[in-house]
Amino acid sequence: MKNVFVMGLDERNRELLARPPTGRDCRFHQLLGIEELQRGEIDIEETLAAARAVLDGFDGTVDAIIGYRDFPITLLVPVLCAERGLPAPNLEAVVKCEHKYWSRFLQAQVTEAHPPFSLVDLDAQTPEHGLDYPLWLKPIKSASSELAYRVQDDQGFEAAAARIRESIDRIGRPFESILERVELPSEVAKAGRHHCLAEGALHGLQTAAEGYVHAGEVNVYAVLDSVDFPGNPSFLRHQYPSSLPPKVQERIRDISARVIEQHGLNDSTFSVEFFYDPIDDSLGIVEINPRHSQSHTPLFELVDGVPNHERMLRMALGEDPALSDGSKGEFSVAAEWYYRRFRDGIVTRVPDAEEIEALEKELSGVSVHIVPSVGQRLSDMIAQDSYSFELAKIVIGAASEIEMQAKYERCVKGLRFEFEDDESGDRSVEGVTGN
- Lowest mean pLDDT across 179-188, 280-289, 425-434: 425-434
Which is more confidently placed, 271 or 385? 271
- Please compute the mean of the pLDDT values over residues 287-293 and round it to a whole number: 94
Answer yes or no: are the C-beta atoms of 419 and 345 closer than 8 Å.
yes
Write down the domain spans for the chain.
2-89, 116-200, 205-426
CB environment 171-194: b (16+ within 10 A), e (fewer): bbebbbbbbeebebeeebeebebb
DSSP state of 296: G
C-alpha span between 115 and 273 (Å, rounded): 13
- For position 423, what pLDDT does the model report? 58
C-alpha span between 251 and 275 (Å, rounded): 12
Instruction: Give the pLDDT band of residue 432 (cuts 50, 70, 90).
Output: very low
Q: Is the dihedral of CA 160, 165, 169, 175 positive or negative?
A: positive
- For position 384, what pLDDT does the model report? 77
- Lowest mean pLDDT across 201-205, 294-298, 394-398, 421-425: 421-425
- For position 250, what pLDDT does the model report? 98
- For position 328, what pLDDT does the model report? 87
Statement: residue 143 has pLDDT above 80:
no
C-alpha span between 148 and 336 (Å, rounded): 22
Answer yes or no: are the C-beta atoms of 253 and 270 closer than 8 Å.
no
Report yes or no on whether pTM surpasses 0.85.
yes
- For position 429, what pLDDT does the model report? 36
Statement: residue 314 has pLDDT above 90:
yes
Closest CA to 370 of 353, 358, 354, 387: 353
The two counts, helices (H) then strands (E), for the chain are 14, 17
- Please compute the mean of the pLDDT values over residues 288-315 and round it to a whole number: 93
C-alpha span between 157 and 151 (Å, rounded): 6
Q: Which CATH number fits domain 116-200: 3.40.190, 3.30.70, 2.40.128, 3.30.1490?
A: 3.30.1490
Amino acid sitting at position 277:
D
- Please compute the mean of the pLDDT values over residues 293-312 and round it to a whole number: 92
Secondary structure string (H, E, C) spanning 358-419: HHHHHCCCEEEEECCCCCCEHHHCCCCCCCCEEEEEEEEEECCHHHHHHHHHHHHHHCCCEE
pLDDT digits (tens, 9 = 90+) for 193-237: 899 999 999 999 999 999 999 999 999 999 999 988 887 778 899
Whole-number mean pLDDT of the chain? 92
- For position 232, what pLDDT does the model report? 78
- For position 185, what pLDDT does the model report? 95
Statement: residue 435 has pLDDT above 60:
no
pLDDT digits (tens, 9 = 90+) for 52-106: 999 999 999 999 999 999 999 999 999 999 999 999 999 999 999 999 999 999 9
Instruction: Give the pLDDT band of residue 333 (cuts 50, 70, 90).
Output: very high
Element holding 92 (H helix, E strand): helix 91-98
- For position 364, what pLDDT does the model report? 95
- For position 431, what pLDDT does the model report? 33
Statement: residue 434 has pLDDT above 80:
no
For domain 205-426, is the CATH number 3.30.470.20?
A: yes
Which is more confidently placed, 123 or 234? 123
- Lowest mean pLDDT across 30-34, 79-83, 382-386: 382-386
Statement: residue 256 has pLDDT above 70:
yes
- Please compute the mean of the pLDDT values over residues 244-255 and round it to a whole number: 98
- For position 129, what pLDDT does the model report? 96
- For position 230, what pLDDT does the model report? 81
- For position 325, what pLDDT does the model report? 72
C-alpha span between 24 and 5 (Å, rounded): 15
Instruction: Give the pLDDT band of residue 424 (cuts 50, 70, 90).
Output: low
